[in-house]
């Protein structure tokens, strides 16, 4: 397939605000795709050449991109800088200048998808003293052979500003429309994706070997799974009514780490499936001590004071996630790992086994081999009173609360189901639980905030049923001045020209952004509102909103799709009404 044809699809996706239309456009694209390029197309739709855990980042700085545009078109960098200030989009600058370029290459040729993908992969792999010059050269060669519309996306991809708004669930929907035929087969694609966290791999296998091959996908140590997620209920009574006898497991407020080991080699992954192995050398050494041929387990890491045994708050723990000064921080903030589930052990996948069996295997597999790794605290309870007692005990010791687990449930890879139910706090007339929201746009600052790029953010929650983000609040409280500056720069870097296709909003902010970053809020309560689309009731013409929301965290290590869901907001609203006696 010619890259120009793919660029025209990008253009069509960029111009639509309908997810249904977006899925249809992608389905038509995949019908035309060659089996050798289908996986590449899936990656390029996300602006990447590999899944996050491979660590292949195409990223090139704006200054270097400007140099490549200058070399390819013959226009001076100063003119390019001026046009960039006017448009805010180097992709559009490249498109215009390629159309009007002063010099024509004598040996220009049409680019294929494979040509562009290979060039970007070389850019991502370039390292060392001369890597920047090499990256500029590859980018210049692509621009020399690009039509104007191709140039737009050739520039946007390495800048991380593709602006298509296409999520992996939408790509899976499009592939299902072409290959799966009905819902059960769609679930085959989703399962393979959940076990590999790799949309390009799933697409390639589907094209080359078909659905039957995807059914055979298994856990591979070194390749992260998409983690299981929790639902929530308001009380011990509701949890026991829902689950019956269950495990009451301590809920820790740390950094979630998925640990993999095979033949002595260790990999550590974040909940976003990013490779964090180099950040935690102390954990790596501890995992190596586990006497297993292969193992994959889920855990939470907390920083603690070695002298007192006291655990530090999340803000201290998250400082351990860093590229530099790793050794120094490992000494200052040592970690303890609490393992709470196991998905693979000695060559056997365990995700389909019941929790009670997995727990026994976990305890046998990891406990007592290192002071750094402990199995999470857990008690089996039968009554609401027993569950409440365990919950109160955990909270009194500074833990977040309880995760109640269905003793007979499998490990629900990549899903939020009632196999796990969290109970974080008592609800005493106000919304005391936290809510993870996705930043969807921002409004400019006024008064003393006029000097910052933004004053308030437009926040939303995730609706899995439509793979979209619904607005729930405008948030301006809780930011420090340093955070205002940091957020302003981050939001400017993901600004888009129009409302993203996956965003459902009645409000129009001063600027839309790509739904990428997740932050945590607290609020006084959830109210009904005619301004927000979360839980929208077409008869009442109302959704849900947060009253007096305040930011309490920086950017969280979560994908947008891992934010609080619309159903969770509905559940929290019901809890709140029951507490108030409404």
Residues with a catalytic annotation lie at 251
Angle at 48 between CA 45 and CA 51, to 5 degrees: 110
Helix axes 183-196 and 168-175, enclosed angle (nearest 10): 140
Contacts of 245 (CB under 8 A, 6+ apart): 380, 381, 382, 407
CA distance 196 to 51: 9
Pair of tokens at residue 494: 């993901």
Neighbouring CB atoms inside 10 A of 105's CB total 12
Residue 152 sits at φ, ψ, to 5 deg, of -55, -45
CA atoms within 13 A on the CB side of 543: 21
Q: Are 471 and 460 in contact, with CB atoms under 8 Å apart?
A: yes
Angle at 340 between CA 334 and CA 341, to 5 degrees: 130
CA distance 553 to 522: 10
CA distance 426 to 100: 65
Reduced to 3 states, what is the DSSP secondary structure of residue 287?
Answer: helix
Task: Tell me the longest C-alpha to C-alpha distance in the chain.
Answer: 81
DSSP 273: -
Q: Are 174 and 20 in contact, with CB atoms under 8 Å apart?
A: no
> What one-character-per-residue DSSP string does 102-133 give?
S---TT--PPBHHHHHHHHHHHHH--STTHHH
Look at the block and give the residue holding tokens 């299902």: 176
Q: Are 340 and 376 in contact, with CB atoms under 8 Å apart?
A: yes
DSSP 21: H
CA distance 399 to 446: 39
Reduced to 3 states, what is the DSSP secondary structure of residue 554?
Answer: coil
CA distance 404 to 36: 46
CA distance 559 to 563: 7
CA distance 515 to 471: 12
Contacts of 112 (CB under 8 A, 6+ apart): 1, 2, 3, 37
Pair of tokens at residue 273: 């499936």
């Amino acid at each position: 397939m010619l890259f120009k044809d793919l660029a025209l699809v990008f253009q069509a996706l960029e111009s639509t605000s309908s997810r249904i239309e977006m899925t249809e456009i992608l389905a038509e694209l995949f019908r035309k795709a060659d089996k050798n390029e289908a996986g590449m197309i899936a990656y390029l739709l996300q602006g990447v050449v590999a899944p996050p855990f491979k660590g292949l980042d195409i990223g090139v700085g704006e200054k270097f991109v400007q140099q490549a545009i200058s070399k390819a078109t013959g226009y001076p960098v100063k003119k390019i800088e001026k046009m960039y200030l006017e448009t805010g989009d180097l992709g559009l600058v490249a498109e215009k200048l390629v159309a009007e370029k002063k010099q024509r290459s004598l040996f220009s040729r049409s680019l294929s998808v494979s040509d562009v993908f290979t060039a970007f992969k070389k850019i991502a792999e370039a390292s060392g003293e001369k890597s920047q010059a090499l990256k500029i050269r590859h980018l210049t060669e692509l621009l020399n052979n690009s039509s104007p519309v191709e140039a737009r996306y050739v520039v946007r991809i390495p800048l991380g500003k593709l602006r298509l708004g296409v999520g992996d669930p939408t790509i899976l929907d499009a592939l299902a429309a072409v290959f799966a035929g009905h819902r059960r087969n769609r679930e085959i694609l989703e399962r393979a994706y959940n076990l590999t966290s790799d949309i390009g791999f799933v697409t390639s296998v589907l094209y080359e070997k078909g659905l039957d091959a995807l059914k055979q996908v298994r856990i591979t140590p070194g390749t992260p799974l998409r983690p299981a997620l929790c639902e929530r209920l308001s009380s011990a009574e509701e949890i026991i009514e829902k689950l019956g006898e269950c495990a009451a497991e301590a809920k820790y407020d740390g950094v979630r780490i998925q640990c993999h080991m095979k033949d002595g080699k260790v990999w550590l992954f974040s909940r976003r499936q990013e490779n964090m192995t180099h950040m935690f050398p102390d954990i790596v050494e501890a995992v190596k001590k586990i006497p297993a041929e292969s193992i994959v387990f889920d855990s939470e890491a907390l920083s603690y004071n070695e002298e007192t045994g006291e655990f530090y708050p999340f803000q201290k723990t998250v400082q351990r996630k860093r590229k530099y000064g790793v050794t120094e921080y490992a000494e200052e903030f040592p970690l303890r790992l609490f393992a709470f589930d196991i998905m693979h052990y000695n060559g056997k996948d365990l995700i389909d086994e019941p929790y009670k069996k997995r727990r026994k295997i976990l305890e046998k597999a990891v406990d007592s081999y290192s002071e750094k790794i402990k199995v999470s605290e857990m008690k089996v309870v039968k009554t609401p009173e027993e569950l409440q007692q365990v919950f109160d005990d955990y909270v009194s010791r500074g833990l977040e609360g309880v995760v109640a687990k269905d003793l007979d449930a499998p490990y629900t890879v990549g899903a939020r189901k009632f196999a796990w139910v969290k109970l974080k706090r008592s609800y005493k007339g106000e919304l005391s639980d936290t809510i993870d929201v996705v930043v969807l746009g921002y409004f400019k600052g006024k008064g003393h905030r006029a000097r910052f790029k933004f004053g308030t953010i437009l926040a939303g929650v995730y609706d899995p049923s439509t793979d979209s983000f619904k607005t729930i609040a405008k948030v301006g409280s809780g930011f420090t001045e340093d955070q205002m500056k940091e957020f302003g720069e981050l939001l400017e870097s993901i600004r888009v020209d129009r409302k993203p296709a996956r965003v459902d909003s009645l409000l129009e902010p001063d600027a839309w952004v790509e739904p990428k970053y997740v932050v945590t809020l607290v609020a006084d309560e959830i109210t009904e509102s005619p301004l927000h689309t979360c839980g929208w009731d077409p008869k009442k013409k109302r959704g849900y909103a947060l009253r007096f929301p305040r930011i309490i965290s920086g950017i969280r290590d979560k994908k947008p799709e891992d934010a609080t869901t619309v159903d969770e907001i509905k559940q929290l609203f019901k809890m709140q009404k029951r507490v108030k006696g409404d």
